[in-house]
Amino acid sequence: MRSSTDALTCELLREGLMSHGSWVDRAAYPFTSRFFDIDGARLHYLDEGDGPVVLLVHGTTTWSFLYRDLIRTLAPDYRCIALDHLGFGISDKPENGSYRPSDHARRLKALVAHLALRDVTLIVHDFGGPIGLDYALRHPGNIRSLVLFNTWMWSLRGEPLIEAASRLAGGSVGRFFFRRFNIELYTVFRAAWGERSKLTAALHRQYLGPFPRPSDREPMWVLARELLGSSDWYQERWSRRERISRTPALLLWGLRDPIFRERHLFRWKSLFTDAEAVTFPSAGHFVQEEVPDQVRPVVRRFLDARRSAST
């Protein structure tokens, strides 16, 4: 699979077709692209539908494509905003860009201000957790509710698997393998699925597409390094967790995730005073992709209930 995908990528590069998201499967992702200028670059985002605001924040290796099914489900009655972090998806990938979680959080805050979003439901996954929840902690009064897919918001020191992976990836050798061989998407990404057969070649292509050149893979490497490198930043967020503890929350968790396990879900459950947890025994880290038919009605029901309660 890898050799054929690499050959296709090289062909598209020669034809100049990899720029501006032309690799995107528009049948699966039929949305209007919008852009926000920040840090001398263009941040890509979607703004679909009308109604109460839903802000969807992705993590590493992924982009707003991850939320396409939820956007289709919600957009008839909700305004769905989904960005691509700088360096991901259709957003620009400046060679000397700032790609730490705190940098992504700062740009997310700027986009929320630019769009004047109010009374927001925040949906987060993976690195989108600490990035998106940074905004919630700073502006708890502007958050209607939270939906959390396998994620965290605390220092990961003491997690043996994560510490080993971050230390291995964070050095010069790890950077070489990230950039030269794209191991994040060819190895780590695949390993995080509960059932790898659900990661089809066509679907994998949508996540490989944003990173055709070694230099494009730098943002993924930075986040791998920052699993530990931003430990103090994560822990400072966790120290302020009481600011969101009373926010209604929906916790959606894949139990076959090799990174964030059920004990991490319990940590979230202990924080929130009004939380519903739904687990998916067959799903791994990418719940939205692995069990979309189960996810959509649960999220819709939660949002509709919150909407009814506020009227």
% of the chain at pLDDT higher than 70: 93
Q: What is the pLDDT of residue 139?
A: 98
Q: What is the pLDDT of residue 6?
A: 43
Least confident of 51-65, 137-151, 165-179, 270-284: 165-179
Alpha-carbon distance values, 118 to 127, 166, 241 (Å): 23, 36, 21
**pLDDT (tens digit per residue) in 164-182:** 888 888 889 999 999 999 9
Strand bridging mode 249-254 / 120-126: unpaired
Q: What is the topology classification, in CATH, of domain 2-309? A: Rossmann fold (3.40.50)
CB 79, CB 56: distance < 8 Å? no
CB 146, CB 244: distance < 8 Å? yes
Q: Is the pLDDT of residue 7 over 60?
A: no
CB 228, CB 166: distance < 8 Å? yes
**pLDDT (tens digit per residue) in 187-246:** 999 999 999 999 999 999 999 999 999 999 999 999 999 999 999 999 999 999 999 999
Could you tell me the residue ranges of all domains in the chain? Answer: 2-309
pTM: 0.93
Distance of CA 255 to the CA centre of its chain: 18
CB 259, CB 192: distance < 8 Å? yes
Q: How confident is the model at residue 274 (pLDDT cuts 50, 70, 90)?
A: very high
Query: Over the chain, what is the mean pLDDT?
Result: 93
Q: Is the pLDDT of residue 16 over 50?
A: no
Q: What is the pLDDT of residue 142?
A: 98
**pLDDT (tens digit per residue) in 82-138:** 999 999 999 999 999 999 999 999 999 999 999 999 999 999 999 999 999 999 999
Q: What is the pLDDT of residue 20?
A: 58
